[in-house]
A and B are shown apart, each in its own frame.
Chain A
Amino acid sequence: MFEEYAKYIDVGTLNELSKLAEELKGVRVLHVNSTKMGGGVAEILHRMVPLMNELGIETRWEVIKGDIEFFKVTKKIHNLLHMPGRESLSHQDIITYMRHTYENVAAIDTDYYDVIFIHDPQPLGLIVKKREGQKWIWRCHIDVSTPDEETWKFLEMFVNGYDGGIFHIPEFVREGVRIPAFIIPPSIDPLHDKNIPLEEGFIRETLERFGIDPERPIVLQVSRFDRLKDPFGVIEAYRIVKRRYDCQLVLAGSFADDDPEGAQVYREVLEAKGGDEDIFVLNLPPDSHREINALQRSATVVVQKSIREGFGLVVSEAMWKGKPVVGSNIGGIRRQIINGVTGYLVSSIEGTAYRVKQLLANDKSREEMGRNAHLRVKHSFLITRHLKDYLLVIHRLLKNP
């Protein structure tokens, strides 16, 4: 598998990765998270774990177990870390969290390993099992900079027991984190169905299946149906653009059956679309990777007008396909887009419309920015870079503590 990446990054860089891995031969690594399926963390681990093994680093992946009560609590913790204020953590929640943590402590063998990566807050409490000589790393995939104070206090005692933390961007690091905080953005996998090259026929067929005209410009936003992704703002921006430019707007995403808010937002987006036949609101099954890939490849301009974002890797996915992205000047999006070079950073509906118009009007700058966008992802947001970062953190903690 490792050699397959040589199609996308230069051989010299792959060779450097192998050399770095050679220095870590014999090190045993364990990743622990809360799910094998669904979500960006599992997606990356499905590829990261075999890659690390292929490089000669014995690596395993375990998933914690829990009943519906436990996952309700961890979902609540997630929300409280990300968006405080709506609810609070009760004593019963803490008991539930600790009870399942101790069940997982008994069930998961961590003693065999030298380095343990714990992903996100759900398995965070496993740190109580740390033995001497091991290095435990908390890989935090969410923004914990402004959490609910009580929730953070509860988690902080676990966090500061780790040997290191990994955060997407420095803005996400909570003050009071006393462990070394490495800054490592997430990545996309060029070999995933979401990102592989597609045949023209499949792209065209996909568009036609949804009734989208392949011959006319397409403005696209891919995101779940969530107010924080501001689909209504995108529609407003599109309406400003539409006064002067012929184009279609595609809002593609999904919502789970157990997500009542998603269903509500979807209905409201349909209402906002009204009778406009050039707006396509596509609620796709979560495994529609090739369809999303096809939509991104057929887009003229991609938009990501989120109000708040974990990192927003969908921006890198579009950039990888050579598309300039007009994205909100926030968090992870501003780390991906270089303003005026790989796309545009915007802060308003009007600004979004203005930049989309500029790109629709100018084929040459669209192509140039698209090329730059592809290069940007190739150098900074592919899984091979992510792997290199993990190996460097392991090296730093084990060899230069």
Chain B
Amino acid sequence: MNVFVFKSELWTAQYTGIKVNTLAAFTRVLKEIDDDTIYYHLYRNLFEYHFLPTDYGNSFAYWMAENGFPVLAEKFSAIDLIECVCISDLREAMLNILHSGIDGFERICKPFYFIRAVRKVVDTGVRAKDIEEFKEGLNKVGVHSLFHHLVTSRLVHGEPTNDFSRWLRSIGEEEKADRIEKIDLMAYSLYEVRDRILRILES
């Protein structure tokens, strides 16, 4: 029997000791910095602020907007985090935007502090053997469990699907798996995502 194990992830933050105050320095650091730092800055909004109507999608974009680069901020904000399945693709996407002819590369800005995500995955102890138990499980776990299975899992497996859909397919629920895969995680809060998944499972 294929049992679904609900996991979740917890984050704290560690300062890398690197701060920059020009776009040029930012670009140089972005080329080299570790994946956990990019992960922190790009996904933190989705992880922490998903329930609030914030202006920009990630902290890179916020810094750019605050320092007079609104177009860059918009472009960085529009990076679809769910389409990418590895950090190196995201890094490349960001560098491409930065290399697309921006003025003011050397202008002094407010500092940007690079922070690394310190993450820990925990087993929540919640299990599901069938759809009914899966629905119960979804209601028992915190929203960071959804983040783990819908967002992080794509990066972990390097596949354009998520743990929920993968499991549903394994028990023959192809259509439900497809519909969950199509939910736009960038457009809804994780609480709304949970409601949508529950509706799909009940349909």
Contact = CB atoms under 8 A, between A and B. Distances in A.
B is bound to A: yes
Contacts of A181: 14-15, 17
A381 to B, nearest CB: 11
A342 B120 CA distance: 29
Contacts of B48: 379-380
Given A173-B15, A183-B13, A16 B142 contact: yes
A12 B140 contact: yes
Interface string B85-112: 0000000000000000000000000010
A183 to B, nearest CB: 4
A182 B17 contact: no
B10 A20 contact: yes
A167 interface: yes
Interface in A303-342: 338, 340-342
A277 interface: no
A340 B14 CA distance: 28
Interface residues of A, number: 34
B179 to A, nearest CB: 23
Interface in A380-401: 380, 388-389, 392-393, 395-396
B12 A388 contact: yes
Contacts of B123: 19
A177 B18 CA distance: 12
B203 interface: no
Contacts of A12: 8, 124, 140-143, 145
A342 B168 CA distance: 39
Interface in B48-62: 48-49, 51-55
Nearest to A180: B14
A342 B53 CA distance: 10
A262 interface: no
A340 to B, nearest CB: 7
Given A19-B123, A182-B118, A338-B49, A388 B141 contact: no
A171 interface: yes
B4 interface: no
A171 B113 contact: yes
B19 interface: yes
Nearest to B11: A392
Interface string A359-377: 0000000000000100110
Contacts of A23: 122
B93 to A, nearest CB: 25
Nearest to A399: B120
Interface of A: 10-13, 15-16, 19-20, 23, 167, 170-171, 173, 177, 180-184, 338, 340-342, 372, 375-376, 379-380, 388-389, 392-393, 395-396
Interface of B: 8, 10-15, 17, 19, 48-49, 51-55, 111, 113, 115, 118, 120, 122-125, 140-145
15 contacts: A12-B124, A13-B142, A20-B10, A23-B122, A167-B15, A170-B115, A171-B113, A173-B17, A181-B15, A182-B12, A338-B49, A375-B51, A392-B10, A395-B120, A396-B12
